[in-house]
Chain A
């Protein structure tokens, strides 16, 4: 079955440093989504990428979808304490109707 690998598992950064998490799928994806989960909370949708090579930005967050639609990345510029949480990528295999395959997430820890 489809597998989604995400690295690193944990990332410690100083406040103000940049952060990147990487996601790789064993199969070609129809779309990839990114979610953020705060400690004790539930996943909250951040963005969806559909097109090969797509790049989207949300303020300090930049999302990329690889040309082969098998990998993706999330980059945060100048991290803030509010960025703390776990970032998950989730791959969809088609149609938008299926359940997502989530990576194990990257836990972002920020030291002030």
Chain B
């Protein structure tokens, strides 16, 4: 079956540009997570949705980062006025429901800010 998909796979942005990263979770998965992974590091939690509700956004590094999941399925992570320190791989993961712990990760979007 289809796994978690993300687009684009690679994005190059000039400093100051806005970017939008898309995540298509596994069909029927209630929980959706965004992580940021810097080179050689572990993923760092950004935000979490249960259906369309954003229940935790404590990991978002600044108010330039915004995430939404309006219909409880596809999610978009938006970064405004990108900075060089935003360069990283952005991973999306989904989980069956709030009681299920296993997270299925997508391939990630590699963002490079020049």
Q: Give me the interface of A with B, judged by CB distance under 8 Å.
A: 6, 31, 33, 35, 41-45, 48, 50, 88, 90, 92, 95-105
Bound together, the chains give a CA A45 to CA B45 distance in angstroms of 16
How would residues 29 to 49 of chain B score, 1 for a CB under 8 Å from any chain A CB and 0 otherwise?
Answer: 001010100001111111110
Tell me whether B101 and A42 are in contact (CB under 8 A): no
Bound together, the chains give a CA A39 to CA B93 distance in angstroms of 18
Interface range on chain B: under 10, 10 to 19, 20 to 34, or 35 or more?
20 to 34
Say yes or no: A104-B41 contact (C-beta < 8 A), given A33-B101, A48-B101, A92-B101.
Answer: yes
Bound together, the chains give a CA A100 to CA B42 distance in angstroms of 11
Tell me whether A97 and B98 are in contact (CB under 8 A): yes
CB neighbours of A105 from chain B (8 A): 41-42
Tell me whether A96 and B100 are in contact (CB under 8 A): yes
Tell me whether A99 and B107 are in contact (CB under 8 A): no
Known: A6-B42, A99-B45. 14 other contacts (CB 8 A): A33-B101, A33-B103, A41-B107, A48-B102, A50-B101, A90-B43, A96-B99, A97-B31, A97-B50, A97-B55, A97-B98, A98-B48, A99-B56, A103-B42
CB neighbours of B25 from chain A (8 A): none
Bound together, the chains give a CA A83 to CA B45 distance in angstroms of 26
CB neighbours of A101 from chain B (8 A): 45
With both beta carbons as reference points, the residue of chain A lying nearest to B45 in the complex is identified as A99
With both beta carbons as reference points, the residue of chain A lying nearest to B102 in the complex is identified as A45
With both beta carbons as reference points, the residue of chain B lying nearest to A48 in the complex is identified as B101
Q: Cβ of B23 < 8 Å from any Cβ of A?
A: no
With both beta carbons as reference points, the residue of chain A lying nearest to B46 in the complex is identified as A99
Choice from B45, B50, B100, B104 contacting A100 with Cβ under 8 Å? B45
19 contacts between A and B (CB under 8 A): A6-B42, A33-B102, A42-B91, A42-B105, A42-B106, A45-B103, A50-B101, A88-B43, A96-B99, A96-B100, A97-B50, A97-B55, A99-B56, A99-B59, A100-B43, A102-B35, A102-B44, A102-B45, A104-B40
CB neighbours of B100 from chain A (8 A): 96
Say yes or no: A102-B43 contact (C-beta < 8 A), given A42-B91, A42-B107.
Answer: yes
